[in-house]
């Protein structure tokens, strides 16, 4: 808490110095960097593409038509996000949807010919992504496996549970109820 020098020395990376409370920020920064560069690659190839399209397109290509809810569940994002992505994909003519005849609540998405062509066209870039991912995994030493394990760890016990569990937090926490500013 001591107020030290205001300039001069500068830690090489704040997320490295204070890992714990900033790990979310760090992952976010990495994802934005990678997503941004990938988008730039699409643009550089003259292909109009949105990052968020990938999951849905890939699933439709692999497994055929699917509903909003099915895609959300497979992609592990909310149905809202899928719904918005669907909207964008339809506007771009890459996907069409129709009400499921057996249940009018459901909306079945399927690729258009333009969608199939787009996927075909992007295959090389996506294969390159795979290669780069391998390259990075090599350089970063087992990154993907570490992410797998992080996913697993958080599935076993969420961040929230970990933060709130007595052993780590409540022992330490000063119980004066002075908080709640707003």
Partner DNA sequence: TGACATTGTGTAGGCGCCTACATAACCATG
Partner DNA sequence: CATGGTTATGTAGGCGCCTACACAATGTCA
Contact status: 92 vs DNA (CB under 7 A): no
Contact status: 13 vs DNA (CB under 7 A): no
How many C-beta neighbours within 10 Å does residue 118 have?
22
Q: In 52-69, which positions are buried (b, 16+ CB within 10 angstroms) versus exposed (e)?
A: bbbbbbebbeeeebbbbe
User: Residues 19, 64, 87, 124: which binds DNA (CB under 7 A)?
Assistant: 87
Contact status: 55 vs DNA (CB under 7 A): yes
The Cα–Cα gap between 10 and 83 comes to 44
Contact status: 58 vs DNA (CB under 7 A): no
Contact status: 38 vs DNA (CB under 7 A): no
Instruction: Select from a copy of itself, DNA, none the partner in contact with residue 80, using the beta carbon and a kind-dependent cut-off of 5 to 8 Å.
Output: DNA
Contact status: 158 vs DNA (CB under 7 A): no
66 Cβ contact list (under 8 Å, min separation 6): 59, 60, 74, 108, 109
Restricting to residues 94-113, name those near DNA by CB under 7 A: 97, 100, 103-108
């Amino acid at each position: 808490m001591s107020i030290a020098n205001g300039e001069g020395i500068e830690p090489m990376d704040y997320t490295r110095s204070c890992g714990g409370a900033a790990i979310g920020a760090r992952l976010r920064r990495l994802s934005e960097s990678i997503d941004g560069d990938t988008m730039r690659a699409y643009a550089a190839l003259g292909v109009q593409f949105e990052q968020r399209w990938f999951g849905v397109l890939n699933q439709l290509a692999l497994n055929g038509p699917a509903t909003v809810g099915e895609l959300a569940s497979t992609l592990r994002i909310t149905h809202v996000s899928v719904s918005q992505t669907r909207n964008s994909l339809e506007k771009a003519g890459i996907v069409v949807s129709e009400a499921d005849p057996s249940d009018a609540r459901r909306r079945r998405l399927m690729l258009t010919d333009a969608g199939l062509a787009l996927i075909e066209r992007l295959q090389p870039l996506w294969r390159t992504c795979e290669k780069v991912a391998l390259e990075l995994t090599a350089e970063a030493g087992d990154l993907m496996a570490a992410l797998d394990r992080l996913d697993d760890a958080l599935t076993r016990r969420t961040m929230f549970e970990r933060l709130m569990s007595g052993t780590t937090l409540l022992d330490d926490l000063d119980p004066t109820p002075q908080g709640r500013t707003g």
